Amino acid sequence: MVGGVFGCFITRQGLEELRRYEYRGGGSTPIDRLMNPWWDYVAGKLPLWLSPNLLTVFGFGCTLLCMLLVMSWMPHLREAAPRWVYFAMCLLLFVYQTLDAVDGKQARRTNSSTPLGQLFDHGCDSFSTVFAVFINAATARMGVCMFSYVLLAILQMQMFIYSWWEIHFHVYRCHTGVTGVTEGQLVTMGVNLLGAIFGPDIFLLTFGQCLALTYSPAAAFFPDCLLNTPMQYIISFPFYLLLTYMLVSDIFNGCRLVNDKALAIREFRLVHDCLSSPKLSTEGSWSCPVSCVVEYRPQRERRTQGLLSSLSPRLQVSPKKTARRREAHLRLAACASTYTRIYVCASSCMDLEIELDAFLGQQLHAGRCVAPRQRRSLTGVSTFVF
């Protein structure tokens, strides 16, 4: 296992697969092809000694600066910021988009493309995607509401689908053929440009008020419900439709083309993990016994047992030695929503690998369960190999 501050997260087998990894892109969209001459021009002007990973860091720094501006001027995602803030975020996002497209060209140009660089690029992009949610919500003055949460959830699920698609088809496909990441970045830049030109109050006006300021006779052709809708929702709704279309299209096409359809569909249960925070509740409405098999080295026995006990005050541990492994019988106090997950917490604390375990209702779903199927489905008690 390869460890760090948060525990072990890459196995030795995973490292070997990482060395053999070869990136294969999934094509481009019409907007990508329209922007490509600009990206080629910028890539041709870069010095050969410039590392592509450094370009990735600079691009990530641009989105990080945008996030710092949001935190400084719009901490609750609904405050009005000076116009220069929106213009600065628009410019920073354009620089990020350019560097994100150019770093791969620079890697191929200097023959320095590596799997680690690709992993680093996608890792930074994953953070930048989450930043984009807060930038959009703050610019449109949405506040902390259901619309902001839905946008975050859709983008998180979309990032999961990209990885899922690459696992099954060995192609990193981040578009539907018509729309993709570039289009989303341009929409975010456009929203910030509106705030820079017309001011932040433009998003709080209703559609009818905007028509009255521009061409009032046109209001007769629209229903009252649309005229009374704030512009922040008018602008955001097409963006939501675009993201939902991309998500549903990727899921449908992936399940249609994949060979092992049953396995692929089961993996979509992991999408729930994008919508929940890993936690162990100490005030549960019910408890479910879980029989776990914990395999670890003898020299780490005391440490592992102590960490297992410290996960929760309500977590009862009864070690039982067997010939080849140690069994730990756990009683997990589940939260009132009857949904929780323990694998993130346990993996980071105990250096263990757990594929998936989720309490959904009172039935335990396990990724690698060695218990009989009848026992698992009837009692909710399963045996994991960590």
Is 124 within 8 Å of 59 (Cβ atoms)? yes
Element (H, E) at 163: helix 146-169
Q: How would you class 212 by CB atoms within 10 Å of its CB: exposed for 0-12, middle for 13-18, buried for 19 or more?
A: middle
DSSP conformation class of 269: G
CB 154, CB 247: distance < 8 Å: yes
Q: Which residues contact 141 (CB under 8 A, 6 or more apart)?
A: 74, 77, 78, 79, 80, 200, 203, 204, 232
Label the pairing between strands 286-294 and 318-321: unpaired
In whole angstroms, give the CA distance from residue 254 to residue 261: 9
Asked about 122 being catalytic, the answer comes back as yes
Contact 73, 82 (CB under 8 A): yes
Phi-psi region of 166 (alpha: psi -120 to 50; beta: other; left: phi over 0): alpha
Residue with tokens 């259901």: 146
Q: How far apart are CA 150 and CA 275, in angstroms?
A: 10
- Judging by DSSP bridges, how do beta strands 357-360 and 363-366 pair with one another? antiparallel
76, 122, 170, 365: the active-site residue? 122
Output the six-digit token pair for 348.
Answer: 């980071």
- Report which of 89, 86, 172, 81 is spatially closest to residue 125, judged by C-alpha positions: 172
| Long-range contacts of the stretch 120-129 (C-beta < 8 A, 24+) | 120/53, 120/56, 121/53, 121/56, 122/172, 124/56, 124/57, 124/59, 124/60, 125/100, 126/159, 127/60, 127/63, 128/59, 128/60, 128/63, 128/96, 128/100, 129/155, 129/158, 129/159
Entry field: residues in the chain: 386
2-4 and 318-321 beta bridge pairing: unpaired
**Dihedral, 239, 67, 345, 270 alpha carbons, nearest 10:** 10
Which residues are identified as catalytic?
122
